Amino acid sequence: MENINLLETKNIMFTKVSMKLIDEYLELVNDKSIQKFTLTKEKEYSREKEMSWINNVLENNDLVFSMIEKDSNKFIGNASLDKISVDEAEIAISIKNSMQNKGYGLEALKTLIRYARKELKFKSLIAIIFSNNERSLHCFQELGFSEYKRENNVKEENGQCVDDVYLRLEL
Protein backbone atom coordinates (compact mmCIF):
# COMPACT_ATOMS: atom_id res chain seq x y z
CA MET A 1 0.00 0.00 0.00
CA GLU A 2 1.23 3.47 -0.78
CA ASN A 3 -1.01 5.10 1.82
CA ILE A 4 0.42 7.37 4.47
CA ASN A 5 -0.09 5.95 7.95
CA LEU A 6 -1.97 8.48 10.02
CA LEU A 7 -2.05 6.35 13.16
CA GLU A 8 -0.40 3.06 13.97
CA THR A 9 -0.77 0.38 16.62
CA LYS A 10 0.86 -2.97 17.21
CA ASN A 11 -1.30 -4.64 14.55
CA ILE A 12 -3.08 -1.87 12.62
CA MET A 13 -2.10 0.91 10.24
CA PHE A 14 -4.72 3.66 9.98
CA THR A 15 -4.60 5.28 6.54
CA LYS A 16 -6.64 7.80 4.57
CA VAL A 17 -9.43 6.31 2.51
CA SER A 18 -8.28 5.57 -1.01
CA MET A 19 -9.72 4.74 -4.43
CA LYS A 20 -7.28 1.81 -4.44
CA LEU A 21 -9.42 0.17 -1.75
CA ILE A 22 -12.78 0.65 -3.47
CA ASP A 23 -13.36 -3.08 -4.01
CA GLU A 24 -12.68 -3.70 -0.31
CA TYR A 25 -15.07 -0.90 0.69
CA LEU A 26 -17.79 -2.28 -1.59
CA GLU A 27 -17.37 -5.76 -0.09
CA LEU A 28 -17.68 -4.27 3.41
CA VAL A 29 -20.70 -2.00 2.84
CA ASN A 30 -22.61 -4.54 0.75
CA ASP A 31 -22.15 -7.43 3.21
CA LYS A 32 -25.70 -8.17 4.47
CA SER A 33 -24.42 -9.66 7.74
CA ILE A 34 -22.66 -6.36 8.48
CA GLN A 35 -25.56 -4.20 7.24
CA LYS A 36 -27.82 -5.85 9.80
CA PHE A 37 -25.75 -4.09 12.48
CA THR A 38 -25.17 -0.81 10.61
CA LEU A 39 -28.30 0.06 8.60
CA THR A 40 -32.02 0.18 9.31
CA LYS A 41 -32.71 -1.28 5.84
CA GLU A 42 -30.60 -3.40 3.52
CA LYS A 43 -29.29 -1.56 0.50
CA GLU A 44 -26.91 -2.08 -2.37
CA TYR A 45 -24.06 0.39 -2.81
CA SER A 46 -22.84 0.97 -6.36
CA ARG A 47 -19.26 1.59 -7.42
CA GLU A 48 -20.23 5.15 -8.41
CA LYS A 49 -21.80 5.84 -5.01
CA GLU A 50 -18.71 4.51 -3.23
CA MET A 51 -16.41 6.60 -5.44
CA SER A 52 -18.49 9.65 -4.56
CA TRP A 53 -18.19 8.79 -0.84
CA ILE A 54 -14.39 8.45 -1.10
CA ASN A 55 -14.09 11.78 -2.93
CA ASN A 56 -16.35 13.46 -0.37
CA VAL A 57 -14.33 12.13 2.58
CA LEU A 58 -11.06 13.27 1.00
CA GLU A 59 -12.36 16.70 -0.07
CA ASN A 60 -13.80 17.42 3.38
CA ASN A 61 -10.76 15.96 5.14
CA ASP A 62 -13.16 13.88 7.24
CA LEU A 63 -11.69 11.77 10.04
CA VAL A 64 -12.35 8.45 8.30
CA PHE A 65 -9.58 5.88 8.37
CA SER A 66 -9.02 2.64 6.54
CA MET A 67 -7.52 0.03 8.81
CA ILE A 68 -4.83 -2.21 7.33
CA GLU A 69 -3.38 -5.27 9.06
CA LYS A 70 0.35 -4.65 9.49
CA ASP A 71 1.56 -8.23 9.00
CA SER A 72 -0.41 -9.06 5.86
CA ASN A 73 -1.30 -5.61 4.45
CA LYS A 74 -4.94 -6.80 4.33
CA PHE A 75 -7.88 -4.44 4.66
CA ILE A 76 -9.54 -4.79 8.07
CA GLY A 77 -12.29 -2.20 7.85
CA ASN A 78 -13.00 1.48 8.44
CA ALA A 79 -13.03 3.68 11.52
CA SER A 80 -14.27 7.23 11.92
CA LEU A 81 -14.65 10.19 14.21
CA ASP A 82 -17.52 12.35 13.00
CA LYS A 83 -17.40 15.77 14.63
CA ILE A 84 -20.72 16.71 16.25
CA SER A 85 -19.61 19.88 18.02
CA VAL A 86 -16.41 21.66 19.01
CA ASP A 87 -15.63 19.11 21.72
CA GLU A 88 -17.67 15.99 20.85
CA ALA A 89 -17.57 13.39 18.07
CA GLU A 90 -19.34 10.20 17.11
CA ILE A 91 -17.02 7.21 16.94
CA ALA A 92 -17.70 4.22 14.68
CA ILE A 93 -15.91 1.20 13.31
CA SER A 94 -16.83 -1.45 10.78
CA ILE A 95 -14.75 -4.58 10.35
CA LYS A 96 -15.12 -7.01 7.46
CA ASN A 97 -16.24 -10.50 8.40
CA SER A 98 -12.97 -12.29 7.65
CA MET A 99 -11.11 -9.91 9.99
CA GLN A 100 -13.49 -10.15 12.94
CA ASN A 101 -12.72 -12.00 16.18
CA LYS A 102 -9.06 -11.02 16.07
CA GLY A 103 -9.14 -8.16 18.58
CA TYR A 104 -8.96 -5.40 15.96
CA GLY A 105 -12.16 -3.71 17.14
CA LEU A 106 -10.91 -3.15 20.67
CA GLU A 107 -7.45 -2.14 19.44
CA ALA A 108 -8.96 0.35 16.96
CA LEU A 109 -11.33 1.85 19.51
CA LYS A 110 -8.59 2.32 22.11
CA THR A 111 -6.47 4.08 19.49
CA LEU A 112 -9.28 6.38 18.33
CA ILE A 113 -10.21 7.24 21.92
CA ARG A 114 -6.60 8.15 22.73
CA TYR A 115 -6.32 10.18 19.49
CA ALA A 116 -9.63 12.00 20.18
CA ARG A 117 -8.51 12.85 23.72
CA LYS A 118 -4.87 13.77 23.21
CA GLU A 119 -4.65 15.12 19.66
CA LEU A 120 -8.13 16.43 18.90
CA LYS A 121 -8.91 17.53 22.48
CA PHE A 122 -12.49 16.23 22.38
CA LYS A 123 -14.25 16.15 25.74
CA SER A 124 -16.59 13.26 24.91
CA LEU A 125 -17.33 10.60 22.34
CA ILE A 126 -20.67 9.06 21.50
CA ALA A 127 -21.54 5.82 19.76
CA ILE A 128 -24.92 4.74 18.44
CA ILE A 129 -25.26 0.97 18.32
CA PHE A 130 -28.22 -1.28 17.54
CA SER A 131 -29.45 -3.14 20.62
CA ASN A 132 -29.02 -6.49 18.82
CA ASN A 133 -25.30 -5.83 18.24
CA GLU A 134 -24.23 -7.37 21.53
CA ARG A 135 -20.56 -7.73 20.58
CA SER A 136 -20.21 -4.02 19.79
CA LEU A 137 -22.16 -2.97 22.85
CA HIS A 138 -19.93 -5.12 25.04
CA CYS A 139 -16.76 -3.77 23.39
CA PHE A 140 -17.76 -0.12 23.87
CA GLN A 141 -18.95 -0.69 27.44
CA GLU A 142 -15.70 -2.47 28.25
CA LEU A 143 -13.92 0.76 27.31
CA GLY A 144 -16.06 2.87 29.63
CA PHE A 145 -18.91 3.99 27.37
CA SER A 146 -22.27 4.11 29.16
CA GLU A 147 -25.81 4.31 27.85
CA TYR A 148 -27.44 7.73 28.13
CA LYS A 149 -30.36 7.42 25.73
CA ARG A 150 -32.33 4.84 23.78
CA GLU A 151 -34.51 5.24 20.72
CA ASN A 152 -36.98 2.36 20.67
CA ASN A 153 -38.05 0.32 17.65
CA VAL A 154 -35.86 1.87 14.96
CA LYS A 155 -36.10 -1.33 12.93
CA GLU A 156 -37.25 -4.94 13.04
CA GLU A 157 -34.83 -7.84 12.71
CA ASN A 158 -36.13 -11.43 12.57
CA GLY A 159 -39.45 -10.39 14.11
CA GLN A 160 -37.73 -8.57 17.00
CA CYS A 161 -37.79 -4.82 17.60
CA VAL A 162 -34.33 -3.26 17.60
CA ASP A 163 -33.43 -0.04 19.44
CA ASP A 164 -30.70 2.51 18.89
CA VAL A 165 -28.55 2.58 22.01
CA TYR A 166 -26.73 5.87 22.57
CA LEU A 167 -23.48 5.54 24.50
CA ARG A 168 -21.15 8.27 25.75
CA LEU A 169 -17.60 8.31 27.02
CA GLU A 170 -16.36 11.38 28.88
CA LEU A 171 -12.74 12.04 27.99
Region of residue 61 (phi > 0: left; psi between -120 and 50: alpha; otherwise: beta): left
| pTM of the predicted structure, to 2 decimals | 0.92
pLDDT tens for 10-45 read 999 999 999 999 999 999 999 999 999 998 888 999
Residues 6+ apart with CB under 8 A from 141: 167
Count Cβ atoms below 10 Å from residue 37 Cβ, excluding itself.
16
pLDDT tens for 85-124 read 999 999 999 999 999 999 999 999 999 999 999 999 999 9
Average pLDDT over residues 117-141: 95
Q: Does 136 score more than 60 pLDDT?
A: yes
Q: What is the pLDDT of residue 84?
A: 87
Contact 91, 125 (CB under 8 A): yes
pLDDT tens for 56-83 read 999 999 999 999 999 999 999 999 999 9
